[in-house]
Amino acid sequence: MPPSVAILGGGIAGLSTAWHLQKLLPAKIPITLFEQSSHFGGWMESELVTRDGRRVLFEGGPRTLRIVGEPGKAMLELVHSLGLASSLKSVPKTSPAARNRYIYRGGQIHLLNPTPFNLLFSRSPVYAGILRGGVREAFVRRNSADDESVWNFFARRFDPRMADTLASAICHGVFAGNSKEMSMRSSFGSMWAAEQRSGSLVRDTMKGVITRSEDQAQLSNRWSSHETASFQKRLQQEASVVCFDQGMGRFPAAIVQDLRKASNVSLLGNQEVTKLELQEGPFSTIIHTKGNQPSSFSHVVSALPSTQLSRLLPTLANLSHIPYTTVAVVNLAFPSNVLPIRGFGYLVPGPELDATGGVLGCIFDSESHGDLEITRCTIMAGGWAFSKYFGDPTTADHDAILETALRAMRDQLGVTVQPLSSRILIQRDCIPQLLVGHHKKVSDVQDKLQEFQGHVQAIGAWITGVSVNDGVLAGRTAAEQVARSMNIEL
């Protein structure tokens, strides 16, 4: 059949795939994106509300973007190509939002600043085990198992106290997940690989200092012009993270706006895919959607959650066992600068969850945006323990969740004033949990997709990374693979 591409899912990975495809493929090849809701952009959602004549920006998902590594580079390339460079707000590396990270432990918020003096003399529980762990890490034997939990990795290589505090807090901040169940190999693959490669993270880091520049030189420059490269270099030198002055929703909205200009791209909202039929000789996929006639495509890229993909392709039924967490997101705005500390925010490790009523952490949004006249914070709660603290997500009490957030502001930060505005979102099944053994599920999927000779691909948070940047890079990579499958020179 004539070449054509279907993309399933209109989150950032699906949008990135469509955008890069329309740059690589001839204009005569149709590209169709199916999204089951009316919203494109996945969890990237911004809302501007007005209270008492003041405009307040609330974020429902990610609020800043890191700019390091190849994923960060891919994101900046796309931002620049979309003409969004002037909309970026960078957080300087010298700012409190970049320098100050906190952890709630033992009933107090502690600054995480592991200087030699603090490691030697501070009694703060956040430093417990770091010095001992750092000294012994180079002498710990390599693990012979093919995977282990994040908690076990840190406890084995460093110190159980580090695992209880730092590893647990990081898992809450990245995955809203339980460090005693999350896979080290799949969740923090670079650290896992470092141990396997060099037997020690310390020794591997020393090698990496020598080879990093060589590795960076090998990265593809296909998507970078000289102007784009200069833009990236400047930001990576000056900034820690970036955000958009009109909110993170500006990013997917700009991709959608650009795609709608392309004559060969169709963005179909409110189009739930209900069935995939794989045909051979020549290969094609028949896509069924609710209330519409089936349509055939030569190539398919799925950017769907694993649970949805498993229902469409029974051969991938194993994906249905990948769990997802639900996170309560509570946006709060206060009429003045009410925070007693400055920084990015704080995280809560697992041993403190009962004391906080299920709060995973608090992000100081106004710090990243440089808006200190109105204090904006986001409380994240629930995650892997959502049902324990808030019950069924479909019937969870929003007032009780708001009270939990306000209690956290009061008890942990000393903020007693009432918010100018608030918003509660229950983000159901928003983050895949990469549990121990997850790599086996991914490997099984990749082996089965190989049978389709590049005509069917799967990307998304469960397989290519949970960050926005991971989604952008995965979409770019998928687009390049489609083009190669069509024998289009890159």
Q: Whole-angstrom Cα distance, residue 436 to residue 89?
A: 37
What is 347-383 written as a DSSP string?
E--GGGHHHHTSEEEEEEHHHHHT--SSEEEEEEEEE
pLDDT for res 218: 44
User: Phi and psi (nearest 5°) for 269?
Assistant: -85, 165
What type of residue is 60? G
Q: Which residues of the chain have pLDDT under 50?
A: 209-219
Q: Is 296 exposed, middle or buried (0-12, 13-18, 19+ CB in 10 A)?
A: middle
Interhelix angle 69-81/226-238, nearest 10 degrees: 120
Task: Report residue 424: phi and psi, to 5°.
Answer: -115, 125
Closest CA to 226 of 83, 88, 77: 77
State phi, psi for 393 to the nearest 5 degrees: -55, -30
In the prediction, which pLDDT does 208 show? 66
Report the candidate in 370, 363, 368, 376 with the shortest Cα–Cα distance to residue 336. Answer: 376
Instruction: Look up residue 104 and give its amino acid.
Output: Y
- Whose CA is closest to 381, among 396, 395, 367, 368? 396
Residue 50, beta-bridge partner list: 55
pTM: 0.93
Q: Where are the beta strands (DSSP E) in 186-320?
A: 239-244, 265-268, 273-279, 284-289, 295-297, 299-302
Bridge partner list, 424: 330
What was the pLDDT predicted at 210? 43
454 and 485 in contact (C-beta within 8 Å)?
A: yes
Question: Helix (H, G, I), strand (E, B), or coil: what is residue 488?
Answer: coil
Exposure of 356 in the CB half-sphere (CA atoms within 13 A): 31
CB atoms within 10 A of CB 240: 21
Which residue in 32, 1, 47 sits closest to 421, CA to CA? Answer: 47
| Cβ-count burial 151-183 (b if 16+ within 10 Å, e if not) | bbbbbbbbbbbbbbbbbbbbbbbbbbbbbbbbb
* CA–CA separation, 396 and 20 (whole Å): 40
* Ramachandran area for residue 44 (φ above 0: left; ψ -120 to 50: alpha; else beta): beta
12 C-beta neighbours (distance < 10 Å), count: 32
The rounded distance, in Å, linking the Cα atoms of 223 and 476 is 10
- Do the strands 456-458 and 345-347 form a parallel or antiparallel pair, or are they unpaired? unpaired
CA distances from 147 to 199, 431, 434 (A): 15, 21, 11
Q: What is the pLDDT of residue 283?
A: 86
pLDDT at residue 340, as a whole number: 95
Instruction: Look at the block and give the residue holding tokens 């899912």.
Output: 9
CA 160/CA 164 separation, integer angstroms: 6
What pLDDT score does 221 carry? 60
Burial of 355 (0-12, 13-18, 19+ CB in 10 A): middle
Residue 21: exposed, middle, or buried by beta-carbon count in 10 A (0-12, 13-18, 19+)? buried
Instruction: Report how far apart the first and last C-alpha atoms of the chain are (Å, whole number).
Output: 22
Kindly report the backbone phi and psi dihedral angles of residue 362, in degrees, each rounded to the nearest multiple of 5, phi listed first. Answer: -140, 130
- Give the SS3 label for residue 433: coil
Q: How far is CA 9 from its chain centroid?
A: 16
Radius of gyration of the CA atoms of the chain, in A: 23
Q: How far is CA 259 from CA 23, 40, 168, 268, 381, in A?
A: 10, 12, 40, 12, 35
CA distances for 478 relative to 331, 377, 464, angstroms: 35, 36, 11
Residues 6 or more apart whose Cβ sits within 8 Å of residue 117: none
Q: Can you list the domains of the chain with their CATH numbers?
A: 5-43+247-322+435-485 (3.50.50.60), 114-215 (1.10.3110.10)
